[in-house]
Structure 1
Amino acid sequence: MATEEQLALTRALSGDGGLGVEESTLVSIIGKWRKKPEEISSFRKSFNRLFSINGHIEKCEDDHMQKLVIEFSRFHHITLLWAMHPHERDARWAHQVTHKNHPASILIEIACTRSAEELLGVRRAYQTLFHHSLEEDVAYQIKDSKSKLMVGLVSSYRYEGPKVDNDVAKSEAKALHNAIKTAGANKIIEHDEVVRILTTRSILHLKTIFKYYKELHGKYLEEDLSGDALLLRTVLCIDSPASYFSQVIDNAFKEGAKHAETEGLSRVMVSRSDVDMEEIKEAYTKLYGAKLANIIAKKTHGCFRDSLLSLAGEAINA
């Protein structure tokens, strides 16, 4: 029968039940088993998910070992992200989209939730790091129907003042509705007026457009864009960043979440910690009926969990 320490070690190395690993458990057992090779051998024999008998060798299973490498790396990764300059951090995330097949929604997130000066800083950092402009790489790498919107978003330098022309906003709300209504077989995301409005207007102007859209047409714009995921994310990022980021966090915790989705948890917690974390926590509770801190404590482990709680401004239980 497995000892309590063997069971604790198995739990710590299972890679199940949450993100990250319980480093303190591992360190404690390593110290206790320093001169007990028989304990380690017994552990290997009992943990057949990680170890298998291959001839005369107790061999690590490659798939599970790779999964553990990812879980062990979460704390190191989030620490590096936290230490980076925000412009470099965003530039590297953008490069993952243009060169490593990460979701295009990351570019939307960066383009729509950073200030004009911040986005300019990201473009400068991208050029310094990768010797191409961000706009150039987006245009070259994203060649399908998303290209026009994505290039426009990352190229934007939006007005950030308080003035909004209500007549123009109302007119553009009608233009968006007309574009959606008459799209037919054409894709809304390629419509010139849709792209122009979403990529050039100030955030305040766009929020006014969205308000008029509902007043004039009886539906939220998001409802009419439900068939286009990227346009939907663009509008949500602009209109309610806290709700958007809450959804990214929740996706990371879903069973069967892909690697790019679980990485979104670190991305949001690091990039929004000193920006709008309180609003995100409120939005998360409203959307999912639970406190974000409680979900983090339940679904993550070890130093990674403690880092997330710290970034959320929450106390860490000793």
Structure 2
Amino acid sequence: MALPQEVEALSKSFSGFGVDEKSIITVLGKWKPEERKSFRKESPFLFTQDDRLFEKWNADHIALLKREFSRFKNAVVLWTMHPWERDARMTKEALIKENRSYDIIIEIACTRSSEELLGARKAYHSLFDHSIEEDVASHIHGSNRNLFVALVSAYRYEGSKVNDEIAKSEAKMLCNAIKNANKKNPVEDEEVVRILATRSKSHLKAVYKNYKELCGKTLDEDLEDGSSLKEAVQCLCSPQAYFSKVLNAALKSGADEKTKVALSRIVVTRADSDMKEIKEKYLKDNGVSLSQKVNETTHGNYKEFMLNLIERGK
């Protein structure tokens, strides 16, 4: 019969992000048939009793484990890719997979530099014989289409010069557009799209600051939760806050797969850029360090790889 502590260790190895390969090898490698049978009987969340009197794996958990075993491999593949190819492939996947994740497209379009986004567009041409712009336009329909096409087409000024009068004027434009949202969806307003898709990030931060002074709330506070406009504003004006929010959701107990995959994506894509700032924001927002949270919720080689990348940006 399997020892209770071994059953507990193995059950834990099969739970969370990744799997604890060392525990699996240590425990399963020495178990005899009767011990494996004992484990199956004592683990109803993993196994169900078949009508033909044998314990069978829960099909949903098999699918989950396949994902968890592959999580480390997928993260390593993303890490070794050229950043242009990585962004191009993530954009393509976001457009074609069953549970589409258009927020990833906003993330890429709004948090990369102009040169990085241009590189992703070049890689997309090479890989898929289409442009990002045409695929975004053909897959995304309705009121969000113009915003998405404009964002992925952007080539922003990267300097620090800002015209304060224009920033105040455009803050007022945004304020009026959002106040009249009951008459016209702000994402359908050409001026709103123009401001978010063409202005430099320094300029947009000035617009953001002026908006609060004019309207009493921040721009993203006035936008609807989950809207593409709100995601774009957060990614453009406060990317560390955006990444902290997405990481927190990914690391929560019970997060679905669409939410969980953000951990690999954000750690891999930000490890060489602003991970230090993201960690500082995460600690401030959640009262626990990102490394500690990852250490508590992930397992095995995947955990070691994630922690290694997170700690690069000290």
> Which amino acid in the other structure matches residue 126 of structure 2?
T
Matched, 1:80 2:84: no
Counterpart check, 1:42 vs 2:38: yes
Look up the match of 1:102: 100
Kept in 2: contact 1:110–1:119 (CA 8 A): yes
Q: 1:213 aligns with which of 211, 214, 224?
A: 211
SS at match of 1:59: strand
- 2:184 and 2:254 map into 1 onto residues whose CA distance is 34
* C-alpha distance in 2 between matches for 1:87 and 1:286: 31
Mapped partners of 2:257, 2:226: distance in 1: 23
1:1-318 equivalences in 2 (<5 Å): 2-3=2-3, 4-13=5-14, 15=15, 18-33=16-31, 36-54=32-50, 55=52, 57-100=54-97, 101-226=99-224, 229-313=227-311
Deviations 1:280-306 (A, max 9, x none): 010001111111111111111111111
Q: For residue 45 of structure 1, report the CA deviation from its aligned partner.
A: 3.5
Q: Which moved more, 1:229-238 or 1:177-186?
A: 177-186
Task: Give the percent of matched residue pairs that are identical in Structure 1 and Structure 2.
Answer: 50
Kept in 2, the 8 Å contact 1:293–1:314? The answer is no
Please give the secondary structure, in 2, of the residue aligned with 1:312. Answer: helix
Q: Return the offset for 1:76.
A: 1.2
Looking at structure 2, the residues matched to 211 and 188 of structure 1 have their Cα atoms a distance apart, in angstroms, of 19
Shift of 1:95: 1.0
Partner of 1:32, secondary structure, is coil
Which is worse superposed, 185-194 or 306-315?
A: 306-315
Q: Which runs of 5+ in 2 are unaligned?
A: none
> Is the CA contact (8 Å cut-off) linking 2:2 and 2:35 kept in structure 1?
no
CA deviation string 1:41-60 (max 9, x = no partner): 33333333333343254432
The two structures have a TM-score, normalised by structure 2, of: 0.93
> Structure 1: how far apart are the matches of 2:44 and 2:297?
24
5+ unaligned residues in a row in structure 1: which ranges? none
CA drift of 1:106 comes to 0.7
Query: For residues 206-237 of structure 1, what are the alpha-carbon distances to aligned partners after superposition, in whole Å with 9 as ceiling and x for unaligned?
Result: 11111121223332112221356211111111
Out of 206-215 and 186-195, give the one that drifted further. 206-215
Secondary structure, counterpart of 1:186 in structure 2: coil
Aligned mates of 1:7, 1:312 — CA distance in 2: 29
Q: Distance in 1 between matches of 2:172 and 2:60?
A: 53
**CA distance, structure 2, for counterparts of residue 259 and residue 222 of structure 1:** 26
> Could you say what secondary structure the match of 1:313 adopts?
helix
Measure how far apart 1:38 and its partner are.
3.3
> Distance in 1 between the 2:176 and 2:267 partners?
38
Distance of aligned partners of 1:53 and 1:212 in 2 relative to their CA distance in 1, 3 Å threshold = closer
Verify the 8 A CA contact 1:2 1:46 in the aligned structure 2: no
The 8 Å contact of residues 2 and 36 in structure 2, kept in 1 or not, is answered as no
TM-score normalised by length of structure 1: 0.92
8 Å CA contact 1:189, 1:228 repeated in 2: no
Change (3 A) 1:5 1:182: closer
How far off its partner does 1:192 sit?
0.5
Distance 1:227 1:269, change over 3 A: closer
Displacement of 1:149 in angstroms is 0.5
The secondary structure found in structure 2 opposite 1:52 is strand
Counterpart Cα distance in 2 of 1:38 and 1:156: 63
Amino acid in the other structure paired with 1:292: L
Alpha carbons 1:116, 1:156 under 8 Å: kept: yes
